[in-house]
Amino acid sequence: MDVLEAMRRRASTRAFVDRPVDRATIEAMLEAARWAPSGVDSQPWRVAVVTGDTKRRITEQLLAERVAGKPERPDYRYYPEHWDEPYKSRRVACGLALYRALDIGREDADRRLTAWNNNYSFFGAPTGLFFFIDRRMAQGSWVDMGMFIENVMLAALAYDLATCPQAALAEYPDIVRRLLDVPDTFALICGMALGYADAAAPVNNYRTAREPVANFTTWHE
């Protein structure tokens, strides 16, 4: 698979088959991803790979906080407080496409909640990744982290693996840090589900629209 094909094929996968990913493959992915650019070669990424009992404990404790109605306490604000256009319409369209793929009606609150809570079980993926950054680093290093995380997802495709980057897994970062013995000096950026996609699951077969190049590009000569 060439680079352009990988960029077009990458998608957020929300249903996985019960097939483990071997450690050597994950190490090979990270070996490739580590060549991402970073300002002054600072390489600010820190990754925790979770499987088995550790992943299960994270799922249980995150879900318990959510079910108990505990307020989210992320290390940073991912979304704006108020959605304006064109972002508001894109957000709505994304949500409608997802729930349509899941065959969940707008008024079906119970099934919508179940679908959301699947975030905390990594959508059934056998492996989870967590991405941390030293709090001392500035905004530029967060840009570097984004490029590194994209590299991880593209590398996964080279091994026929699927991913889903998840802000939801960073809603209660203190729980994740405690279970993984990560010091509070590191902020949790996001989690990621990693595994083999369930090709038969309808939720994996929908795609959101992308703006044409002409809508976000200006040329200056």
User: pLDDT digit string (tens) for 173-216?
Assistant: 999 999 999 999 999 999 999 999 999 999 999 899 999 999 99
Query: In the prediction, which pLDDT does 1 show?
Result: 82
Place of tokens 């991880």: 152
Query: In the prediction, which pLDDT does 192 show?
Result: 98
How much is the pTM? Answer: 0.95
Task: Look at the chain and count its residues.
Answer: 221
Judge whether 83 and 201 are in contact, CB under 8 Å: no
Enumerate long-range contacts of 133-141, CB under 8 Å, 24 or more apart.
133/44, 133/45, 133/46, 133/186, 133/187, 133/189, 134/44, 134/46, 134/185, 134/186, 134/187, 135/75, 135/185, 135/186, 135/187, 136/185, 137/42, 137/44, 140/39, 141/38, 141/39, 141/42, 141/44
Query: In the prediction, which pLDDT does 125 show?
Result: 98
* Alpha helical stretches, state H, 34-73: 52-67
Judge whether 125 and 194 are in contact, CB under 8 Å: yes
Backbone angles phi, psi at 61, to 5 degrees: -75, -35
Q: Is the link from the previous residue into 37 a cis peptide, with omega within 30 of 0?
A: no
Query: In the prediction, which pLDDT does 194 show?
Result: 98
Q: What homologous superfamily does CATH list for 3-216?
A: NADH Oxidase (3.40.109.10)
Query: In the prediction, which pLDDT does 132 show?
Result: 98
Query: Domain spans of the chain?
Result: 3-216
Q: Take residue 75 and report the two structure tokens written for it.
A: 């290390």
Backbone angles phi, psi at 12, to 5 degrees: -80, 115
Q: At what angle do helices 139-158 and 23-33 cross, to 10 degrees?
A: 130
- pLDDT by residue for the chain (221 residues), tens only, comes to 899 999 999 999 999 999 999 999 999 999 999 999 999 999 999 999 999 999 999 999 999 999 999 999 999 999 999 999 999 999 999 998 998 888 888 888 889 888 889 999 999 999 999 999 999 999 999 999 999 999 999 999 999 999 999 999 999 999 999 999 999 999 999 999 999 999 999 999 989 999 999 999 999 99
Instruction: Name the β-bridge partners of 191.
Output: 130, 166
Judge whether 104 and 115 are in contact, CB under 8 Å: yes
